[in-house]
Every structure is written in C-alpha cells, then in structure tokens.
Amino acid sequence: MKKINLLLAVVLLVIASCKKQSFLDDKTTNLIDVNAVFSDSIRTMAFLTRIYEEMPFNYNHDRWEGGNTAQGGDDAEFSLENPARRPVALYLGGFSAESFVHSDAWNVPFINIRRANLLLQYLPVTPLPETLKSRVRGEAKFMRAYFYSYLAINFGGMPLIGDTLYTKDDNINSPRTTFEQTVNYIVKELDEAAALLPVPNVGYNPSLPPGQTGYEDRDFGRVTKGACMAVKARILLFAASPLFNGGTIGGASEVQKSLAGYPGFSMARWQAAADAADAVIKSGYYKLNLGSTAQPGLGFYEVFLKRFPNTEYILFANRPPNRDFENAYLPTSRGGGFRFKPTQNLVDCFPMRNGKAITDPTSGYNPANPYVNRDPRFSYTIIFNGSRYQRANSGVDTVFTYSIKLTPTNIPNTSGDGYNPDAAPPATPLTGYYLRKTCDSNIANNSSGNTLRGWPLLRHAEILLSYAEAINETGQIALAYDKMKDIRDRAGILPGTDGLYGMKPNMTVTEMREVIRNERHIELAFEGDARWDDIRRWKIAEQVNNGKLRGMMIERNPTTRLYTYIPVLGFRAHFFAPRQYLFPIPGIEIRKMPAMIQNPGW
C-alpha cells in the first residue's frame, strides 16, 4: 500500500508541475511507468479512485481561499473581503482571460479527461477480471462525460478528443466543437456508460451483513446506471435553458454563437430534458429522504449528514469522519470560522409554513417577528437570531446575532456572534446570519465528535425540480404541480385545504416558472455551483447580482427586551457583466492553439 500511495503522489506531483504544456498533451504518460500501474490490479483501481477524488472539486467549501461560487451569486457574502481573493474576484468580475484566477474550472476537468483516456487505453492489458474491466470501462466513460459536462456548462463547446492521448511532441491545435456537438457527445458517452454499469442500491447499509445489502462495501459510492441517467438529465436541462437555447451573449460573432449555445430556440430541448429527468424518476432507483414526520423538514436536513442509508443520493463524494463544515461556517461561539454569511436576499425566499410567499398579504408573515412559522427548511439552512445550536460540550443553547453596539435603543450583544455596524469585514457578520445547512447540530467545532457524511453532488430532489422546470416550459403545468408538491411535502410545508402546499391554483407557465426557480433557490442553496449555475443559465445574473446584497441588523431594546429588525446593505457591490455568463478560455491556451476561439466578450 505504501508503494501505491507513493506512486499516486508522484503522479500528482508530475501533473502539478507540467504547467507549460497544452491542456491536451501528456501530463502523465511519459513521466510515470504506466506498465507498473496497469499491470497491477490494485494500482489500476487506485488510479480510478484518483479520478473519483477529483469529481467534487467544485463542491469543496474551501475551493477558492475559503470560498466558492456561493459568494458569486446572491446567496452569501464572503467574510474575507480582499479583492484579490478568488470568491471576491468572481462577484466583482475581477478576472480576465489573462488573469483567470478560477483556473481550476479549466484545468481539473481536462486533467481528469486525460486520466480517463489513459485508463481506457490500458484497461485491456490490466489483470482485472473481465466483468470488472467492463464496469471500470463504464466508470471511466462516465468520468470523462462528467468532466466534459462541467466544461460545457461553464465554457460552452469544447475540443472533443475522444480516446486520443496526445504527447508533448504532438503538434496540437484542436478547434472547439459547437455546443450542440459537445452536448451530443456527452449524452452518447453517458448512454454507453450506463449500459456497462450496475443499477444502484440506494438502500445500502453497512450495519447489515454483506449478503443482505446486495452491494459490496467496497462498491459504495461508485457510479451506477442511475448516475449516468441523472447527469444526462442535468446537461439536457442546461441545454434547454435560456442561456444556451437560442440565447445570445452580447457581442457574440456568428461563430461564437454556435460555440456558446444553440443559435436558435427549440421547445424540443425542454421536452428532451423533461424526458431524461422523468426516466430517472420512473426508474425507481431513488426517492426523497423523508426523515421523521414528528420533525417537519428533518428529512431535508439529514440528507447532508446521513451517509447511509440515504435514498436521495444519486452521485456523491465519500468523506472521512470530520467536522469540516462546522469549522468553516459556524459562528464564533461555536468555534466556527463563519467564512461566508447567508444574505437577506436568500432568507426572504423562504415561504411561510403554509407555503405562501412572505410578500403575500395572506401568508401570516410578521416583519416584527420574521422567523416564526417559516418553511422548516429555513431553520435547517440558516442560523438566525434565536436559533438553538450545540455549544462546545455544554449542550444546546441560543445563538444571538443582534448588534454589539451600545446605543439608547440597543443592549450590547456580548455573545461573540453579534452584528457590529462599525467594523470592517471580516471582523463580524456582514448579514446577521450564519449557515446551518450541512452542519451537524449535535457538533460544534469546539466540541468533541465528528460527522460521517457524504457530499451529494447530485440528488433526487434536483431531478424532481429539473423535471418540474422542463415540463412546465412545455406547457404541461399540471405535471409540474405534482413534483412541486412532493418537494414541499418533504420540506414540511402544510398541504392546506386545497392540497396545493401554498401554491396558487391554475398558474400560468410564467407564474409556475417563478415558483420553481424560487424552490430551486431554497432547496439547493449552498450545494456546489447550484445557484451560480442557475442564475447564469436563466440569464438573470445581471438582475440579481448587480449591486449590494442585503442583510439584517437587529437591535434589542434595553427596556422592553424586544427586537427591532433593520435592513442593511452589504459591504461591497457585486458586479456581473454579460460576458461572465461563460468563463473565458485561458489566454495561454488560445496562444498555444490558435484554432481555439475565445468566448464572447473576452
């Protein structure tokens, strides 16, 4: 095992050191002994595992110097307000093709596409059993398609190299294919991978004897037929969305239009996306994690804390026991680093327990007591003034976020978690909120214990929402209602006497579209690139991500002890230009391969 670990360490070191070569050339083949790797079954599987380890790179809470794309949209403010930091550069638009500070979005996928090709080329000569070879072939094809889908979503049409393994001696000048060709290739690869992979066993439970699980312990977390179907549904949803489905980025040439999306709109793309999501749903492989009916919304919260059995996971990353999220997100009193703060923009999206928006006069919302009777997902996503949470090893008590400043209208908050209206970030909360989602309420970062969790990279709730969105766009609104009811029922929203869970009856496509978009916002908040991707593919980023985001300062009256809620604006204005709908191709790649055409505006 030491030899295997050393070999993989050498592979990683080599890859990290080869920065002057093309992204398509050999960053591994000439510098490792491929015969030593692929002549050994354990090393071959370790090589596959290394590709698996890279899959959640964009879900990492610490992806970019303590942040990720959650700070690029309207979900959160980043605590470390240095314009040179990559999360800040993202929401300020402070990057270019020559200073592409988010270069992992380009490099990581191509490195792993090459790894998948390397594995596919040498797989026939490995000593693996033939049945296992077939499965590994399916996994490698899936990985290649998965990373290509990430590139297509963020950059548009890509060079499609198939099984080719370039060397540093090759004269590489690969042009980009159109977005349509790239999507077609991804779908084809996923279909072929699905035919080679087993069906999932979402009921896996390691506490049961192996003969009763139907799935060997060492296979838990490996991709399956269901994962192929779900990633296909995801890429087809993007392909049908306004950014790509006939959407045009300002200033795009005719050639760039076909690279950045489909030049013309087609309703058939929405139907294809709906059909792909429906196939996942009807497969019966997955279902929502429901939790306890005695605790509304608990099933939603547990998705991120309960590795198994978890019927909602479609694609996920195994993680060792840890308290990484607690360390990153919790307030000071719980030993956390509060790296970013959820915004009032997000908080206002959560409806009331009856499912009605807080802007609805009949919802029962009280701005003087704004956190009462809200959608249960609210209190499982946000730590707000009055939340209850574990403190060190002394049990659960209240988190206070009201102002620390002594004024005639405020008692100073001495808990360590209060809002400081006079301090410059990152000293204090910028919004008045902290993140609870993904954090285990039984564990503070300054307490004992760890959580055995997975990172859901794609889960059943996303597929339900994708189906609802796509089928609504085709005009089949009744079918969208059905899936929205499922999501809201699991969330703990009350069905009401009409059984519509707070939704208006007989909505138009436009009305239902807004409801679905809001539902995605709150259901998928802080899950990888979900919000960043959504505001881009809907082409609404210019509306929601220009200007200062909102927070809430709270004062506690010295006499009455009652709270007053005062809306505030964030520290720094966000900026989104039309060209940011797609990332730029790194300038160094354009110069090495002149046939590559840059994205619009860059």
Predicted confidence band of residue 143 (pLDDT cuts 50, 70, 90): very high
Q: At residue 7, does pLDDT exceed 70?
A: no
Q: Mean of the pLDDT values across residues 409-422?
A: 92
Q: At residue 220, does pLDDT exceed 90?
A: no
Structure tokens at 69: 């794309």
Predicted confidence band of residue 429 (pLDDT cuts 50, 70, 90): low
| The one-letter amino acid at 67 | G
Count the Cβ atoms, other than its own, within 10 Å of residue 504. Answer: 13
pLDDT at 250: 85
Q: At residue 111, does pLDDT exceed 90?
A: yes
Task: Give the contacts of 544 (CB within 8 A, at least 6 positions apart).
Answer: 73, 74, 345, 535
Q: Mean of the pLDDT values across residues 334-341?
A: 86
Q: At residue 254, does pLDDT exceed 90?
A: yes
Structure tokens at 325: 């999220």
Predicted confidence band of residue 597 (pLDDT cuts 50, 70, 90): very high
The pLDDT tens digits of the residues spanning 342-390 come to 999 999 999 999 999 999 999 999 999 999 999 999 999 999 999 999 8
Predicted confidence band of residue 82 (pLDDT cuts 50, 70, 90): low
pLDDT at 212: 46
Predicted confidence band of residue 61 (pLDDT cuts 50, 70, 90): low
The larger pLDDT score, comparing residue 152 to residue 200, is at 152
Q: At residue 64, does pLDDT exceed 70?
A: no
pLDDT at 67: 66
The larger pLDDT score, comparing residue 58 to residue 252, is at 252
pLDDT at 393: 72
pLDDT at 246: 96
pLDDT at 218: 61
Alpha-carbon dihedral sign for residues 427, 430, 436, 439: negative
Q: At residue 144, does pLDDT exceed 50?
A: yes
pLDDT at 207: 59
Q: At residue 23, does pLDDT exceed 70?
A: no
Residue 219's H or E segment, with its range, is: none
pLDDT at 248: 84
Structure tokens at 267: 């309703």
Predicted confidence band of residue 204 (pLDDT cuts 50, 70, 90): low
Q: In terms of Cα–Cα distance, which of 495, 474, 549, 485 is closest to 516?
A: 485
Q: In terms of Cα–Cα distance, which of 183, 496, 527 is closest to 355?
A: 496
Alpha-carbon dihedral sign for residues 540, 546, 547, 552: positive
Q: Mean of the pLDDT values across residues 16-42?
A: 61
pLDDT at 423: 74
Q: Mean of the pLDDT values across residues 311-322?
A: 87
Q: Mean of the pLDDT values across residues 124-136?
A: 96
Residue-averaged pLDDT of the chain: 88
Q: Mean of the pLDDT values across residues 491-502?
A: 98
Predicted confidence band of residue 214 (pLDDT cuts 50, 70, 90): very low
The pLDDT tens digits of the residues spanning 453-482 come to 888 999 999 999 999 999 999 999 999 999
Classify residue 235 as exposed, middle or buried by CB count within 10 Å of its CB (0-12, 13-18, 19+): buried
Count the Cβ atoms, other than its own, within 10 Å of residue 60. Answer: 14
Range with the largest mean pLDDT of 72-86, 305-319, 365-379: 365-379
CA distance 514 to 491: 18
Q: At residue 12, does pLDDT exceed 60?
A: no
The pLDDT tens digits of the residues spanning 84-105 come to 666 777 777 778 899 877 788 8
Q: At residue 302, does pLDDT exceed 60?
A: yes
pLDDT at 16: 33
Q: At residue 205, does pLDDT exceed 80?
A: no
Residue-wise DSSP of 160-183? --TT----TTS---PPPPPHHHHH
Residue-wise DSSP of 535-574? HHHTT-HHHHSSB--EEEEEEE-TTT--EEEEEEE-SS-B
| Percent of the chain topping pLDDT 90 | 66
What phi, psi does 563 have (nearest 5°)? Answer: -100, 145
Q: At residue 25, does pLDDT exceed 60?
A: no
Range with the largest mean pLDDT of 55-64, 215-224, 503-512: 503-512
What phi, psi does 136 have (nearest 5°)? Answer: -65, -35
pLDDT at 209: 54
Q: In terms of Cα–Cα distance, which of 527, 334, 341 is closest to 443?
A: 334
Task: Give the contacts of 182 (CB within 8 A, at least 6 positions apart).
Answer: 148, 151, 152, 156, 157, 158, 160
| Percent of the chain topping pLDDT 70 | 87
pLDDT at 459: 97
pLDDT at 301: 96
Q: At residue 485, does pLDDT exceed 60?
A: yes
